[in-house]
């Protein structure tokens, strides 16, 4: 158990990463409190309109659609640590101003829309910067663990934040969540300031550093176009993120309009999905290498199944229970896709490639959120959740079928002594031809359906870990 725990939390032995994770945990807990308050405020001001909730979500993510690729260019050109300091300082000011408006009673629905737009503008620059900063904190060898722990931090906050948000709204009023969140940004600002720049892992960046004029967005797009192993997870997250990852919108309507409950119950539904997500993040924290394509596809299919089931549950308690495995599958999928992209790129391109990942993962919300809001208002929250699950299942299943056809592989099941599902891949297959370093040349290996772990391989040396395989 001691060895297992040491493996799970090994990135925390790095001082800079420990400071970063601490600051993020503080900020995210109260950030989720604010998200809960914002959604509840929109429903109050719009007389329970799901469409209004979809619109405010679209405003929040439109800047990501428009600005994220440019932000990735900046992340590759400038000091990511300084950019994170600027972003968190700006968020502090925005949350404080919104808190004053709400507590004074002067807030109107258009104010929330403007606030969401400004908040999203900062997020468009902060998210790809933070995503690509992880490799500078710990280096490539610890990158899978660091990404998993970042997901665990995010989902720990999702467990605590919405529950605190429900209590804060009920006891202190909606505006208190914005004020408390503003104060919480002092935490990450202090932690980032205390980092030691001399201990950041920037060797790969120094070797391939490009000038301001040469760091072009189009180069990142061309880089991804030549890499089919990156295109698949990006395409999956584009569709599934737009159709299936809309719980911020659907759970608020589900709690208020279907189960006729208050803010505390909404917070508990969000906490239920976050508990599963936290378990999923910790499950992937022991991963030491780049996830295979089969891990990503298996996560997509599993998420589609459980989300479809969540939309069909008849009561509040049963729905909350099913949201736990839904959260697990959601984070297992997104974490595997994130790791597969991050660990497959060169350091000098990471900012621009991760900006593209953020764009397809979050930037599609301006399109998806109003559509999901319309479906929710027209057909109900349950139908909206189930439709997202069905879309995810169909897309994941279709991608799996195409991949199996390309590789000449097959899926088979063994019922005794323990039911298991296996994936058999022939000795030589198209994956090697299509630039998939994680699965090329696999010879008849078997994969478990959940972990999709291969038979043990010899450990790679440090020099091998410092390079990116472009086969």
The CATH T-level fold of domain 10-197+214-407 is Growth Hormone; Chain: A; (1.20.1250)
72-81 pLDDT, tens digit per residue, is 788 778 888 9
pLDDT tens-digit profile of 369-427? 778 878 888 888 888 889 989 999 999 888 888 888 777 667 777 776 777 766 666 65
Q: What is the mean pLDDT of residues 334-360?
A: 80
From residue 247, alpha-carbon distances to 241, 325, 390 in Å are 11, 14, 15
Per the DSSP assignment, residues forming a β-bridge with 424 are 410
pTM, two decimal places = 0.66
Rounded CA-CA distance 284/356 in Å is 23
Whole-angstrom distance, CA of residue 113 vs CA of residue 119: 10
In b/e form, how buried is each residue of 85-118, taking b as 16+ CB within 10 angstroms? eebbebbbebbeebbebbbeeebeeebbbebbbb
- 3-57 pLDDT tens trace: 655 566 778 888 888 999 899 888 888 888 888 888 888 888 887 777 787 788 7
Q: Which two three-digit tokens encode residue 148?
A: 């998993």
Q: Which helix (H) or strand (E) holds 393?
A: helix 381-407
pLDDT of residue 214: 53
For CATH 1.20.1250.20, list the domain ranges present in the chain: 10-197+214-407
pLDDT tens, residue by residue, 150-191: 777 776 776 677 777 777 877 888 888 899 899 999 999 999
Cβ(55)–Cβ(367) under 8 Å? no
SS3 call for 178:
helix
In this structure, the dihedral spanned by the alpha carbons of residues 311, 248, 292 and 395, taken in order and rounded to 10 degrees, is: 50
Residue 424 phi, psi (nearest 5): -100, 130
């Amino acid at each position: 158990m001691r060895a297992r725990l040491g493996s799970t939390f090994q990135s925390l032995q790095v001082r800079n990463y420990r400071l970063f994770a601490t600051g993020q945990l503080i900020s995210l807990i109260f950030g989720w409190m604010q998200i809960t308050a914002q959604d509840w405020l929109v429903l109050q001001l719009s007389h329970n309109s799901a469409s209004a909730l979809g619109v405010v979500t679209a405003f929040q993510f439109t800047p990501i659609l428009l600005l994220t690729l440019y932000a990735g260019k900046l992340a590759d050109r400038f000091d990511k640590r300084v950019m994170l300091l600027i972003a968190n300082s700006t968020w502090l000011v925005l949350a404080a101003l919104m808190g004053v408006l709400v507590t004074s009673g002067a807030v109107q629905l258009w104010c929330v829309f403007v606030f969401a737009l400004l908040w999203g503008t900062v997020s468009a620059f902060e998210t790809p910067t933070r995503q690509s900063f992880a490799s500078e904190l710990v280096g490539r060898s610890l990158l899978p663990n660091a990404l998993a722990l970042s997901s665990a931090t995010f989902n720990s906050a999702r467990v605590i934040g919405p529950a605190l948000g429900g209590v804060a709204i009920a006891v202190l009023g909606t505006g208190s969540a914005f004020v408390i969140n503003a104060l919480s940004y002092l935490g990450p600002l202090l932690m980032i300031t205390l980092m030691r720049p001399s201990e950041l892992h920037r060797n790969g960046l120094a070797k391939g550093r490009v000038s301001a004029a040469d760091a072009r967005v189009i180069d990142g797009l061309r880089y991804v176009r030549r890499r089919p192993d990156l295109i698949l997870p990006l395409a999956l997250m584009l569709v599934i993120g737009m159709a299936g990852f809309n719980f911020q919108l659907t759970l608020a309507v589900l709690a208020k309009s279907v189960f006729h409950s208050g803010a505390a119950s909404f917070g508990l539904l969000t906490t239920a999905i976050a508990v599963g997500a936290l378990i999923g993040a910790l499950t992937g924290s022991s991963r030491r290498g780049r996830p295979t394509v089969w891990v990503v596809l298996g996560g997509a299919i599993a998420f589609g199944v459980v989300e479809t089931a969540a939309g069909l549950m008849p009561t509040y308690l049963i729905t909350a229970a099913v949201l736990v495995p839904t959260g697990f599958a959601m984070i297992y999928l997104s974490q595997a896709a994130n790791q597969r992209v991050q660990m497959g790129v060169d350091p000098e391109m990471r900012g621009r490639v991760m900006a593209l990942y953020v764009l397809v993962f979050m930037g599609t919300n301006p399109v998806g959120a109003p559509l999901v809001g319309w479906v929710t208002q027209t057909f109900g929250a349950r139908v909206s959740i189930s439709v997202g699950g069905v879309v995810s299942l169909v897309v994941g299943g279709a991608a799996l079928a195409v991949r199996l056809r390309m590789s000449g592989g097959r899926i088979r099941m063994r019922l005794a002594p323990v039911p298991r599902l296996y994936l058999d891949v022939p000795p030589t297959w198209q994956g090697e031809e299509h630039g998939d370093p994680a699965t090329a040349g696999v010879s008849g290996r078997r994969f478990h359906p959940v972990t999709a772990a291969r038979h043990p391989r010899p450990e790679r040396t440090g020099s091998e870990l410092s390079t990116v395989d472009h086969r």
